[in-house]
């Protein structure tokens, strides 16, 4: 397994380089260093000298990928891409274009994101699996068909509708919870309970429908038919045969998401005023702060690769027949 992990880590290096290349290309196609300078200095009364000075101070006065004015290795190293990306691989994110330390911001904002994402993740999985197993017990009945219709209806509703309706009913009309904001102290649950409920409800349709499909596929296997032929109760069949044998596809969709919980939810954090990494990323995009954007994209790529590796490792735990070679 150790050799497998080393090989996967080595494979990740060109992937991260490619992600950085794509990030740089897309960002600078939309923006120019001069546009970024105007966004930070202000559109009114900004002089060309101030723009040039800001561009030079932030290191954006060099070519993006290839410096044709130099010779040899400096053609590639004396560029924005090389100088801005190399430090990322040692997790030195540097400072934002506004002068704030990005690593400190990430560490501070990671905890509000986890406080929102972890309960939503755990409760969502538990609710989806329980509902899917319950519907499976009534497979082929009117209840089963009605449940599928509800799942499809929930999938068709926009994520924003859940947020706006939840804020209007629970916060605006009934005043049970605050509309937005966050308190890192003991009262944090008052600000998180509504986003967690909305997050679980918004993912219920797709999640429960997906788990139901997995369980139906597992229920048609020979070992399930044999268990039923031996007189096993439906509850025993569900929890001793169907659920364990559907674990591999569940792990594929679950374990890979775990590292990404650190990144937070961009839409949810923005609407509820939670100072997490999701809102941090959105604010950086709006402010055209490329230093934060590239750092967050890099962190997200690393976490996604870690999730894929954890998924492969979890296969060996779920199924003894799987070996990592």
Q: How far apart are CA 265 and CA 267, in angstroms?
A: 6
pLDDT in tens, 86-138: 889 888 898 888 888 999 999 999 999 999 999 999 999 999 999 999 999 88
CB 138 within 8 A of CB 211: no
- The set of residues, in sequence order, having a beta carbon less than 8 Å from that of 318 and lying 6+ positions away, is 247, 248, 251
- The set of residues, in sequence order, having a beta carbon less than 8 Å from that of 222 and lying 6+ positions away, is none
Q: What pLDDT is attached to residue 322?
A: 67
pLDDT in tens, 264-286: 788 899 899 999 999 999 889 88
What is the rounded average pLDDT for all residues in the chain? 88
Q: How far apart are CA 156 and CA 20, in angstroms?
A: 34
Q: How far apart are CA 182 and CA 63, in angstroms?
A: 42
* For the chain, counts of helices (H) and of strands (E): 17, 0
Q: How far apart are CA 298 and CA 89, in angstroms?
A: 9
pLDDT grade, residue 261 (50/70/90)? Answer: confident
Instruction: State the DSSP code for 4.
Output: H
pLDDT in tens, 10-59: 999 999 999 998 998 888 888 888 888 888 887 666 788 888 888 888 88
pTM of the entire structure? Answer: 0.87
- pLDDT > 70 fraction of the chain, expressed in percent and rounded: 97
CB 36 within 8 A of CB 97: yes
pLDDT in tens, 185-217: 788 899 999 999 999 999 999 999 999 999 998
b/e string for 54-93 if b means 16 or more Cβ within 10 A? bbeebebebeeeebeeeeeeeeeeebbbeebbeebeeeeb
Q: What pLDDT is attached to residue 186?
A: 81
């Amino acid at each position: 397994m150790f050799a497998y992990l080393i090989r996967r880590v080595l494979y990740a290096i060109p992937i991260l380089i490619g992600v950085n290349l794509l990030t740089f290309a897309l960002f600078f196609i939309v923006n120019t260093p001069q546009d970024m300078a105007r966004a930070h200095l202000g559109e009114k009364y900004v002089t060309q000298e101030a723009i040039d000075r800001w561009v030079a101070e932030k290191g954006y006065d060099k070519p993006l990928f290839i410096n044709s004015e130099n010779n040899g290795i400096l053609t590639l190293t004396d560029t924005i891409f090389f100088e801005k990306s190399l430090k990322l691989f040692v997790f030195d994110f540097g400072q934002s274009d506004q002068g704030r330390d990005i690593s400190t911001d990430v560490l501070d904002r990671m905890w509000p994101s986890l406080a929102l994402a972890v309960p939503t993740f755990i409760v969502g999985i538990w609710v989806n699996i329980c509902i899917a197993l319950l519907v499976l017990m009534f497979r082929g009945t009117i209840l089963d068909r009605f449940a599928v219709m509800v799942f499809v209806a929930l999938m068709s509703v926009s994520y924003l509708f859940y947020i706006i309706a939840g804020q209007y009913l629970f916060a605006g009309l009934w005043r049970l919870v605050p509309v937005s904001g966050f308190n890192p102290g003991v009262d944090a649950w008052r600000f998180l309970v509504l986003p967690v409920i909305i997050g679980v409800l918004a993912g219920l349709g797709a999640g429960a429908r997906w788990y139901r499909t997995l369980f139906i596929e597992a229920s048609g296997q020979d070992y399930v038919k044999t268990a039923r032929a031996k007189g096993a109760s439906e509850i025993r069949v569900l929890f001793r045969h169907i659920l364990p044998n559907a674990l591999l596809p569940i792990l594929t969709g679950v374990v890979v998401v775990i590292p990404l919980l650190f990144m937070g939810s961009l839409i949810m954090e923005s609407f509820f005023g939670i100072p997490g990494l999701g809102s941090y990323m959105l604010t950086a995009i709006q402010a055209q702060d490329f230093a934060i954007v590239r750092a967050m994209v890099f962190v997200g790529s690393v976490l996604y690769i870690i999730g894929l590796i954890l998924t492969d490792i979890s296969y060996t735990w779920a199924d003894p027949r799987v070996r990592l070679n």
